[in-house]
Structure 1
Amino acid sequence: MGNLSRRDFLKLSGVTGAGLGASALLAACNGGGGSDDGGDGASGEGKKIGISIWSSTDALGSLSVAICKKAADILGCEVQTVDQGHVSEQVTASAETLAAAGCNGMIICNSADSEMTSVINTCNENEMYVTQFYRIISEEASPDVYEVAKNSKFYVGAVHEDEVLNGKTLMGLLLEKGGPNKTGARNICLEGWTVGDATFQLRWQGYKEGLDEWNQAHPDDQATMTEPVYANTSSAEGAKVTEQFVNTNPNMDALIVAGGGGDPLVGSIGQLANMGKTGQISVVSTDFLEDLADQLESGGIFAESGGHFCDPLYAFILTYQACTGKLEVKDGEFGKEIKFPYVYVSSSDEYKDYAKYFVDDAPYNEDEIKALAEDDFDALCKAAESLSIEDVKKRHA
């Protein structure tokens, strides 16, 4: 596995279309189907960790699952994945499915805080550890759910991003350099994914804060943003929402596609191309597409934040540590929190560096993943927060 490049790994896992199943992938990596070979410190033999995710096939979801499968193979444990589409009933049911499959722990990207009450209760009943990724329960907005997590012996914690800062940064890029003339966008439309999604709410807060700060500082040069229209997590709905925006907002010069794993963005930029609007409307989004370099070159995308697919890797490692007894989970404490940084790119040249250190080769090699699994929480937190293109360059020099 240590000699397998990230691009080759993604091809094996089906991310770039080869379509091998999980068992074939793990066999291709080490011939062991994910079981512990007894060497090099792997200690996860007999442990099974579930992954509950909106989709394991879109741009971000496939990367997220692939890097967790890589870690599972290195650490000698088994993985089971459930796609739940960010549909609340399916999100809560996913925990039951993974518990019934005999998982010792699970990581989950839920869509709303409210779902976590049922998820955590299922984990408590089945003594199954759970860690959130790309999400964290809000103590302020969801105090009851927060207390459920706090009082659980099986809620490990959450690995997530500073989404408010993410939103402000993308809004700032649009206001400073967006629009058809690259002198700044002023008429911005907002495409969300699912109503009530906790991460979207934080990004939206950031977009609004960035917009408010601009308008306060530029009273004679005001910008506007629409209320969100939701595309869920499908390409077709992304295209439909974008067409609606163009037809009802004749002065539209920018589009924020808040996320949704990448598929809504694919539909949106495809629809703009069909309408002859590529480059005329500046598109920013979160979650890197596989063809991001080409989209930046053509003007299909103006700027994007992403590169955060290692977030679920850290959630996986925390869960692995809880399952193997290295990390103690206590009731009465909310759990561990790791904040993950985004990478921002706004040109094909910037993306080349990202591709070299995050795509062509993995940002963490086999020895580094083993070391992360042995780290205490403070060291894990420091490693996560320092991840960047420069950090990978230094480690892999």
Structure 2
Amino acid sequence: MVNVSRRGFLKLSGVTGAGLGAAALLSACSGSGSGSDSGSSDGGSDVKIGVSIWSSTDALGKLSADIVKKAAKILGVETQFVDQGHVSEQVTASAETLAAAGCNGMIICNSADSEMTSVINTCNENEMYVTQFYRIISKENSPDVYKAAENSKFYVGAVHEDEVLNGKTLMNLLLEKGGPNKTGARSICLEGWTVGDATFQLRWQGYKEGLDEWNKEHPDDKATMTDPVYANTSSAEGAKVTEQFVNTYPDMDALIVAGGGGDPLVGSIGQLKNMGLTGKISVVSTDFLDDLEDQLKTGGIFAESGGHFCDPLYAFILTYQACTGKLEVKEGEFGKEIKFPYVYVSSSEDYANYKKYFVDEAPYTDDEIKELAKDDFDALDKAATSLSIDDVKSRHSK
């Protein structure tokens, strides 16, 4: 038994459900360390899953971390978090850190496709499964990285959003109802977060598609959008970029803050407030802030997409299933893909419904998370892509 790997031992022990039963066999392999959380003793799990995230403390990061911790406790899984700030060297090092900590698997929100080659290699060397969340490797833009994922026995897949549609939806809201008079914005500035980030590139594609379609259909009422200026994931840089836009484009009537976890948006709307421009420049963004309800009421934010923090929950479950042998990862296949829906809010009334069904109570109960962990991939995919305010309302009113 000494020569059987922990992963092989988990599978041999039949650890496949929400309640796991090999604690006595492998307790010595489940160490803890800085940033780790032990799951409950519900059945006695010996699965340890790492989480590599840009931040576990900003608006989106905390929601993401909290729902993973909730699932880990329910399933009896130990977790370890590494905050890597979307700095490439730290992103790649996070996989090494989690492997050294004895993780069976990890989920990761990387900042660029190029980082995933190193991450996948580390996972291959350490027999550690990996699933992306809020990200997916682009086959067109990063064929070599995509091939590395295909050739891996440990790349599980990716849970991400339809970012092109997200971008088009936000752009259309601005063009139709934005601007100081709510008759449509026409001079739009774009704030990105990290150069080369695959998710930003897709959102930007959506912004451009929405803009191009509008201009084609309205040749006498065209709108413009700047090239992106990057704020990384910093509130201070968000404020600086916004001030630069206002000073450079006097006709500016809208600002897209592409994302970055929420902090750049905080800086941007704070800067607009300081300049007396709240409500005069329509701001749209992705990643809900904690005070979104107030920002919608005061005009600090015009519209926002978010509510996608269950994305890491599904990445966690896929990784858990791979670690326990329920989900087979095949060499030569790219892996599983789940495309997660966004929730869009553009009024305090919209947000009230979101808050009731996603914030005041979790969108999934403990029992529902246990059942998700038992589902096959098709059922998981259907559950994920069906998530909405109406879906939660329907499930929790029974």
Distance in 2 (CA, whole Å) between partners of 1:106 and 1:184 is: 44
What one-letter code is carried by the residue in structure 1 that aligns with 2:238? G
Percent identity of the aligned residues?
85
Which position in structure 1 is the counterpart of 2:392? 392
What one-letter code is carried by the residue in structure 1 that aligns with 2:353? D
Distance in 1 (CA, whole Å) between partners of 2:174 and 2:269 is: 16
Distance in 2 (CA, whole Å) between partners of 1:143 and 1:234 is: 31
Instruction: Establish whether residue 34 from structure 1 lines up as the match of residue 43 from structure 2.
Output: no
Which position in structure 2 is the counterpart of 1:225? 225
What one-letter code is carried by the residue in structure 2 that aligns with 1:257? V
Instruction: Establish whether residue 236 from structure 1 lines up as the match of residue 236 from structure 2.
Output: yes
Instruction: Establish whether residue 141 from structure 1 lines up as the match of residue 149 from structure 2.
Output: no
Q: 2:35·2:82 contact (CA, 8 Å) conserved in 1?
A: no
Question: 1:46 deviation in Å?
Answer: 1.2
Which position in structure 2 is the counterpart of 1:85? 85
Q: Secondary structure at the match of 2:241?
A: helix
Which position in structure 2 is the counterpart of 1:165? 165
Q: Which runs of 5+ in 1 are unaligned?
A: 1-20, 27-32
Distance in 2 (CA, whole Å) between partners of 1:335 and 1:87 is: 25
Which position in structure 2 is the counterpart of 1:251? 251
Distance in 1 (CA, whole Å) between partners of 2:223 and 2:345 is: 23
Runs ≥4 in structure 1, deviation > 4 angstroms? none
Q: Secondary structure at the match of 1:210?
A: helix
Instruction: Establish whether residue 56 from structure 1 lines up as the match of residue 61 from structure 2.
Output: no
Distance in 1 (CA, whole Å) between partners of 2:363 and 2:103 is: 27
Structure 1 residues 162-214: Cα deviation after superposition (integer angstroms, max 9, x where no partner): 00000000000000000000000000000000000000000000000000000
Which position in structure 2 is the counterpart of 1:131? 131
Q: 2:322·2:329 contact (CA, 8 Å) conserved in 1?
A: yes
Question: 1:22 deviation in Å?
Answer: 6.9
Q: How does 1:161-200 map to 2 (within 5 A)?
A: 161-200=161-200
Structure 1 residues 283-327: Cα deviation after superposition (integer angstroms, max 9, x where no partner): 000000000000000000000000000000000000000001100
Question: 1:34 deviation in Å?
Answer: 1.3
Q: 2:321·2:327 contact (CA, 8 Å) conserved in 1?
A: yes
Q: Secondary structure at the match of 1:363?
A: coil
Q: 2:149·2:155 contact (CA, 8 Å) conserved in 1?
A: yes
What one-letter code is carried by the residue in structure 1 that aligns with 2:395? R
What one-letter code is carried by the residue in structure 2 that aligns with 1:236? A
Q: How does 1:256-295 map to 2 (within 5 A)?
A: 256-295=256-295
Which position in structure 2 is the counterpart of 1:205? 205
Q: Which runs of 5+ in 2 are unaligned?
A: 1-33
Which position in structure 1 is the counterpart of 2:370? 370
Distance in 1 (CA, whole Å) between partners of 2:159 and 2:39 is: 24
Distance in 1 (CA, whole Å) between partners of 2:243 and 2:139 is: 37
Structure 1 residues 57-80: Cα deviation after superposition (integer angstroms, max 9, x where no partner): 100001001100000000001010
Q: 1:155·1:335 contact (CA, 8 Å) conserved in 2?
A: yes
Distance in 2 (CA, whole Å) between partners of 1:22 and 1:304 is: 31
Distance in 2 (CA, whole Å) between partners of 1:333 and 1:35 is: 34
State the TM-score, normalizing by the size of structure 2. Answer: 0.90
Distance in 2 (CA, whole Å) between partners of 1:52 and 1:212 is: 36
Q: Secondary structure at the match of 1:330?
A: coil
State the TM-score, normalizing by the size of structure 1. Answer: 0.91
Structure 1 residues 303-358: Cα deviation after superposition (integer angstroms, max 9, x where no partner): 00000000000000000000011001010000000000000000000000000000
Distance in 2 (CA, whole Å) between partners of 1:329 and 1:22 is: 28
Structure 1 residues 115-154: Cα deviation after superposition (integer angstroms, max 9, x where no partner): 0000000000000000000000011111100000000000
Q: Secondary structure at the match of 2:156?
A: strand
Distance in 2 (CA, whole Å) between partners of 1:22 and 1:290 is: 23
Distance in 2 (CA, whole Å) between partners of 1:210 and 1:84 is: 33
Aligned residues: 364
Distance in 2 (CA, whole Å) between partners of 1:37 and 1:343 is: 33
Q: Secondary structure at the match of 2:189?
A: strand
